[in-house]
């Protein structure tokens, strides 16, 4: 009976693809990258293993697409924050802080997306290379406004706060830490001349 319904329902490949990516990301976060299998993703979405293979020929292709999807969302979040920032100096770093540090106003979906990105990147050397490539491109692109020692330290601290938060380490006042980091991006002590 269920198979018959599957054939009668209208095929929606983009919705299925989106569900496959979302469930592969969820499995990565909840169980680890090693648990992302075609069968696990198929079961989570309610399609056959062949249905997953229709969209992704290999597990690596699926994982790469999950990573690229998370990267695109992260980059969009950074770009959106930068577009709203009227001060050029440190704008990339401030946007990076906001995209990295999860506060109350940030939804679970944004936190999960960031976590997926980092878990995948930390668990796979090829994905780490893609992350490094993106980060290095951003640093070069924003060299005139964000290439100081202080701003580098601020981004590294933001990464450390994210990792602590993700690991379940209690951070007494993330809001205060975030505000302090933002303030450090506004300092003129080591600003280049424009």
Summarize pLDDT for 88-142 with one digit per residue, the tens: 999 999 999 999 887 655 566 777 777 888 888 888 899 999 999 999 999 999 9
Q: Would you state the torsion angle of the CA atoms of residues 172, 176, 180, 182, taken in this order, to the nearest 10 degrees? A: 120
Distance from the first to the final alpha carbon of the chain: 69
Sign, CA torsion 121/76/92/162 = negative
Q: Please state the separation of Cα 12 from the chain's center in Å.
A: 26
pTM metric for this prediction? 0.82
Mean pLDDT of the 35-50 span: 94
Question: What pLDDT, on the 0 to 100 scale, is given for residue 167?
Answer: 84
Tens of pLDDT, residue by residue over 137-161, are 999 999 999 999 999 999 999 999 9
Count of Cβ atoms closer than 10 Å to residue 30 Cβ: 9
On average, the pLDDT of the chain sits at: 87
Q: Which string of DSSP letters, residue by residue, matches the chain? A: -HHHHHHHSPP-HHHHHHHHHHHHHHHHHHH-GGG--HHHHHHHHTS-HHHHHHH-SSHHHHHHHHHHHHHHHHHHHHHHHHHH----TTHHHHHHHHHHS--TTS-HHHHHHHHHHHHHHHH-HHHHHHHHHHHHHHHHHTHHHH-SHHHHHHHHHHHHHHHHHHHT---TTHHHHHHHHHHHTT--TTPPP-
Question: What pLDDT, on the 0 to 100 scale, is given for residue 8?
Answer: 41
Banded model confidence at residue 81, pLDDT cuts 50, 70, 90: very high
Percent of the chain topping pLDDT 70: 88
Separation between Cα atoms, residue 100 and residue 158, nearest integer Å: 6
């Amino acid at each position: 009976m269920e198979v018959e319904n599957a054939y009668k329902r209208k095929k929606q490949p983009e919705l299925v693809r989106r569900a496959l990516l979302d469930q592969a990301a969820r499995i990565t976060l909840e169980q680890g990258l090693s648990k992302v299998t075609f069968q696990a993703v198929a079961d989570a979405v309610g399609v056959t293993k062949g249905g997953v293979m229709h969209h992704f020929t290999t597990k690596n292709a699926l994982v790469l697409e999950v990573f690229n999807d998370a990267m695109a969302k992260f980059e969009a979040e950074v770009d959106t924050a930068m577009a709203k920032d009227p001060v050029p100096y440190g704008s990339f770093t401030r946007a990076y802080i906001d995209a990295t540090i999860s506060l109350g106003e940030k939804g679970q979906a944004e936190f999960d997306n960031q976590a997926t990105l980092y878990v995948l990147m930390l668990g796979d050397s090829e994905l780490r290379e893609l992350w490094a490539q993106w980060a290095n491109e951003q640093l070069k692109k924003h060299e005139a406004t964000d290439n100081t020692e202080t701003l580098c330290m601020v981004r590294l601290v933001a990464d450390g706060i994210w990792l602590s938060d993700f690991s379940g380490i209690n951070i007494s006042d993330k809001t205060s830490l975030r505000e302090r980091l933002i303030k450090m991006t506004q300092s003129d002590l080591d600003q280049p001349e424009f």
